[in-house]
Amino acid sequence: MRIKHLLAVASMGAAMVVAVAPPASAATGYDRCPSLRMCVFTGPNGSGAIAYFANGDANLGDSVGPVGMNNDIESIWNRSGHTWELFDGVGYSGTRWVSHPYVGHNNVIAAAANRVSSLRDT
The residue ranges that bind Ca ion (CB under 5 A) are 57, 59, 62, 64-65
Element (H, E) at 120: strand 118-121
Smallest distance, Ca ion to C-beta of residue 9, A: 26
In the bound state with Ca ion, the residue whose beta carbon lies nearer, of 29 and 66, is: 66
Smallest distance, Ca ion to C-beta of residue 13, A: 23
In the bound state with Ca ion, the residue whose beta carbon lies nearer, of 57 and 72, is: 57
- 6-to-15, 17, 28 alpha-carbon distances in Å: 14, 17, 33
Smallest distance, Ca ion to C-beta of residue 1, A: 35
In the bound state with Ca ion, the residue whose beta carbon lies nearer, of 59 and 107, is: 59
Smallest distance, Ca ion to C-beta of residue 72, A: 13
In the complex, which residue's CB is closest to Ca ion?
Answer: 65
In the bound state with Ca ion, the residue whose beta carbon lies nearer, of 85 and 106, is: 85
> Smallest Cα–Cα separation from 116: which of 54, 47, 39, 45?
39
